[in-house]
Amino acid sequence: MLRAFIAVEIDEQSKQKVLELVSCLKKSCADVKWLDETQMHLTLKFLGGVPADKINGISEALSGISGAFESFPITLSGIGVFPDLKHPAVLWLGVDKGAESLETLNDKIENALEKIGFQKEKRKFKPHLTLGRVKSSKNMPGLLKLIGNTSFEHKEDIKINELSLFQSALNPKGAIYNKLSTSFFIIRH
């Protein structure tokens, strides 16, 4: 069984902007497992444990979706938490421009994978980039105050050109991601 997910990635320049924000938020000394550059992506569907013999079918489904989908730009803005401010578990960056395209893409993925035996996600999809996962409530009030006083807007377009299937291997230091397949969107000039 492979632990897998489907995601789109952002460019290096955008990653650096996000890492600057993470560096600022780390000053709170909150007990958060912050993402690093290698983990920066927007998850479209978490698959969980997948038998190795299903990987090709997933990759083919993603290739079919991307072959009929045009590349699109997104912008990032707004810092938030899941599930709410009283019980923060995940800190995230929102998607401004391009959110509808990511929602459409997610819907196409959900429908295609349901046909090959994967259950549809019951929760409404909210496009976001995870910044960190809360490990304990230590220094959380300081972090929430810092989030409230910090605005983040990355208004330069981030081109979304490809769809990737990743394996997530867990180890004591965190998850290590390995790209299993990539399919490219139609690019119009």
Catalytic residue IDs? 41, 128
Look up residue 156 and give its DSSP letter. Answer: E
The two three-digit tokens of residue 35, written as one number:
């993402």
Question: Residues 62, 165: contact at Cβ < 8 Å?
Answer: yes
Residues shown for the chain:
189
Question: Residues 139, 28: contact at Cβ < 8 Å?
Answer: yes
Helix (H, G, I), strand (E, B) or coil at 176: strand
* Interatomic CA distance for residues 17 and 63, integer angstroms: 30
Burial of 175 (0-12, 13-18, 19+ CB in 10 A): middle
Q: How far is CA 38 from the centre of its chain?
A: 12
